[in-house]
């Protein structure tokens, strides 16, 4: 597919997206970032593939010639709202890896409505996606649940070895630090851990038109009970291996949807989805999905569908050609 792609945010995800986009034959028309270390440099030079004739700029206006902009700068919509709007107002659609944009009506209902209004006014599309949230613990769950006549309860789990991920990821889950300090930093928002438990829960509910009465999120540390090493990363006994947490959606007192995420040094790598119907339960399990390339793959695959979407704020589960059906008991 011919696509003129713009990239807003040229960190690890933006660069990986650029590589995959070029490999697919897309044209990269502009790249925007605020990092003074890379502004003015040729995109090809930064990727180690020679000159592309496109330099990293701070001018958002350069993205105006793109068909779609891949946005990858932050996890919280209130922090990146103005960035996204600046692109939508040029009539250019945005596919963002912002985790809270995957279901923005939960944390940012007013901003979500504003995004929808602006996107419609300028004939553009905005959608938040990625590997998690965006696919593994929500959209994929809805797809698998479509094979059951009635869904009584779903549970989805993702587990990954933090030692095999980038250093910035290990930092945001406090690998190697004092567990108590990590919990305090998580509570203060100094580090994020995983963002998107509730968003995944709501996406699954949305896929089945289920009105949840309560959603609960929790996230905590994983202290090392003994010295451990994986992929060259060592964690001493008593230090923090990483994080685990969950999001749970309730109808009354009954838990209907549960998503769990574990990321710590030495963790097994897998995803598992269990769907309980009235008369039977099905279980799907993978051998683990690489996060960064998974995020970029999902984002670019969605970007290819943007020209066929109705303008406005869209959700991943809106792209499914079906709804799932939850039981009411």
- Each residue of 132-175: pLDDT tens digit? 999 999 999 999 999 999 999 999 999 999 999 999 999 999 99
Say which residues have a Cβ less than 8 Å from residue 161's Cβ, sequence separation at least 6.
230, 231, 264, 265, 266, 267, 268, 269
Residue 220 — very low, low, confident or very high, per pLDDT cuts 50/70/90? Answer: very high
Residue with tokens 């409505």: 113
For residue 260, give both structure tokens.
């769990």
pLDDT tens for 69-125 read 999 999 999 999 999 999 999 999 999 999 999 999 999 999 999 999 999 999 999
DSSP-H helix ranges across the chain: 12-23, 43-47, 77-88, 109-121, 139-145, 167-172, 179-188, 197-207, 291-305
Has residue 1 got a pLDDT over 80?
Answer: no
Say which residues have a Cβ less than 8 Å from residue 103's Cβ, sequence separation at least 6.
128, 133, 198, 199, 200, 202, 203, 206, 315
For residue 62, give both structure tokens.
């350069």
DSSP at 57: E
- Quote the pLDDT of residue 329: 74
* Proportion of the chain above pLDDT 90, given as a percent: 98
Has residue 328 got a pLDDT over 90?
Answer: no
- How far apart are the C-alpha atoms of 229 and 286, rounded to whole Å? 24
Over residues 211-220, the mean pLDDT reads 97
Residue 45 — very low, low, confident or very high, per pLDDT cuts 50/70/90? Answer: very high
Has residue 217 got a pLDDT over 90?
Answer: yes
Domains and CATH numbers, the chain: 4-129+295-319 (3.40.50.720), 139-288 (3.30.360)
Beta bridge partners of 126: 94, 313
DSSP at 164: G
Residue 313 — very low, low, confident or very high, per pLDDT cuts 50/70/90? Answer: very high
- Mean pLDDT (the chain) is 97
Residue with tokens 């709007």: 85
Over residues 30-46, the mean pLDDT reads 98
């Amino acid at each position: 597919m011919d696509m003129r792609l713009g990239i807003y945010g040229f960190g690890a995800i933006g660069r990986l997206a650029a590589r995959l986009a070029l490999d697919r034959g897309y044209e990269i028309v502009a790249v925007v970032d605020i990092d003074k270390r890379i502004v003015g440099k040729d995109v090809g030079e930064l990727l180690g593939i020679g000159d592309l004739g496109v330099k990293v700029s701070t001018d958002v206006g350069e993205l105006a010639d793109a068909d779609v902009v891949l946005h990858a700068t932050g996890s919280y919509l209130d922090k990146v709202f103005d960035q996204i709007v600046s692109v939508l107002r040029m009539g250019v659609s945005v596919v963002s890896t912002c985790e809270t944009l995957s279901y923005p009506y939960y944390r940012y209902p007013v901003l979500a409505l504003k995004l929808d209004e602006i996107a419609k006014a300028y004939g553009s599309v905005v959608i938040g996606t990625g590997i998690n949230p965006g696919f593994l613990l929500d959209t994929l769950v809805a797809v698998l649940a479509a094979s059951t006549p009635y869904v009584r309860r779903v549970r989805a789990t993702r587990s990954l070895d933090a030692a095999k991920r980038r250093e910035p990821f290990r930092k945001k889950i406090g690998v190697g630090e004092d567990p108590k300090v990590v919990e305090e930093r998580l509570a203060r928002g100094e580090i994020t851990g995983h963002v998107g438990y509730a968003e995944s829960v709501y996406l699954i509910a949305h896929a089945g038109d289920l009105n949840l009465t309560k959603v609960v999120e929790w996230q905590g540390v994983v202290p090392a009970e003994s010295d451990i090493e994986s992929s060259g990363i060592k964690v001493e006994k008593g230090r923090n291996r990483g994080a685990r947490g969950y999001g749970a959606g309730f109808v009354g007192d009954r838990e209907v949807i549960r998503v769990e995420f574990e990321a710590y040094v030495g963790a097994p790598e897998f995803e598992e989805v269990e769907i309980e119907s009235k008369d039977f339960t099905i279980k799907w399990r993978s051998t683990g999905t690489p996060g960064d390339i998974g995020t970029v793959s999902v984002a670019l695959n969605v970007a290819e569908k943007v020209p066929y979407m109705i303008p406005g704020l869209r959700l991943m589960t809106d792209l499914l050609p079906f709804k799932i059906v939850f039981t009411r008991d």
